[in-house]
Chains A and B, each alone.
Chain A
Amino acid sequence: QSVLTQPPSASGTPGQRVTISCSGASSNIGGNTVNWYQQLPGTAPKLLISSNDHRPSGVPDRFSGSKSGTSASLAISGLQSEDEADYYCASWDDGLNGWVFGGGTKLTVL
């Protein structure tokens, strides 16, 4: 059972917009920033969104993040086949004194 809650799966057709949610608590998302990681099949995770809504250099602007209260969301617009991957949210937890991840969302492009 992960501390942060994500839907296990999401899907969309090319060109569509999909959103992945990440729910937490006041000890993690509520009081700290959220980061998102993309893990393509067979590869190491890669930073996708940092500090709730910041795109690192090289990440397409089709990816965007937001946070409200104890929840966060990752939105992918103009869905492409190469976006098929696992997506994880993460945040520092002040109660646990450690990082916590969501269980991951497997995105399928139909």
Chain B
Amino acid sequence: EVQLVESGGGAVQVGGSLRLSCVGSGFTFDDYTMHWVRQAPGKGLEWVSLINWDNDRIYYGDSVKGRFTISRDNSKNSLFLQMNSLRIEDTALYYCVKGYSSLTVDYFDFWGQGALVIVSS
């Protein structure tokens, strides 16, 4: 059974930093692209970042570019999100998401339960 468990969420002040972690199990972690997707309270889903299996392909959403850094440690089945210069609008539930992609298909097939980040002034 695929499991994704996030940790590292919490409350931080504007301008502060936080590092989210996600441990995956039940699948061969280093075979898959991983993503972070967030959801502000009462709002919709927003894709944040992706990293492919060998760190060769890394992308960010415009709202976090230059402030967030995604990374992974395949030896520990772990995904990370370093969040710097945090803003009020970064307040959200951050989901760790497993991707599935091939030449013809690409989608998010499993989601963690999320880590809550609250940024206050």
Task: Return chain B residues, CB-CB under 8 Å to A98.
Answer: 47, 50, 59-62
Say yes or no: is B41 at the interface (Cβ < 8 Å to chain A): no
Say yes or no: is A25 at the interface (Cβ < 8 Å to chain B): no
Residue of A nearest to B4 (CB): A44
Say yes or no: is A24 at the interface (Cβ < 8 Å to chain B): no
Interface residue tally on A, bucketed by range? 20 to 34
Within 8 A of B (CB), among A83-104: 86, 88, 90, 92, 96-104
Identify which of B10-18, B83-91, B110-118 touches chain A: B110-118
Please determine whether B108 and A37 come into contact, CB atoms closer than 8 angstroms.
Answer: yes
Please determine whether B109 and A101 come into contact, CB atoms closer than 8 angstroms.
Answer: no
Residue of B nearest to A91 (CB): B106
Residue of B nearest to A2 (CB): B44
Say yes or no: is B95 at the interface (Cβ < 8 Å to chain A): yes
Say yes or no: is A12 at the interface (Cβ < 8 Å to chain B): no
Q: Report how many residues on chain B are interfacial, defined by Cβ distance under 8 Å.
A: 23
User: What total count of A-B pairs have CB within 8 Å?
Assistant: 63
Please determine whether B47 and A97 come into contact, CB atoms closer than 8 angstroms.
Answer: no
Within 8 A of B (CB), among A27-82: 32-33, 35, 37, 39, 44-47, 50-51, 54, 56
Please determine whether A92 and B111 come into contact, CB atoms closer than 8 angstroms.
Answer: no
Pick the contact of A104 from B45, B47, B50, B109 — CB < 8 Å? Answer: B45
Task: Return chain B residues, CB-CB under 8 Å to A32.
Answer: 106
Please determine whether A47 and B44 come into contact, CB atoms closer than 8 angstroms.
Answer: no
Q: In the complex the two chains form, what is the Cα distance from A99 to B62 in whole Å? A: 11
Given contacts A45-B45, A56-B109, A90-B47, 15 further A-B contacts (CB under 8 A): A2-B44, A33-B105, A33-B106, A44-B112, A44-B114, A46-B111, A47-B109, A50-B109, A51-B105, A88-B44, A88-B45, A90-B108, A97-B59, A99-B35, A101-B44
Q: What are 9 pairs between A and B in contact, CB < 8 Å? A: A33-B105, A37-B45, A45-B95, A50-B109, A98-B50, A99-B47, A101-B44, A101-B46, A104-B45
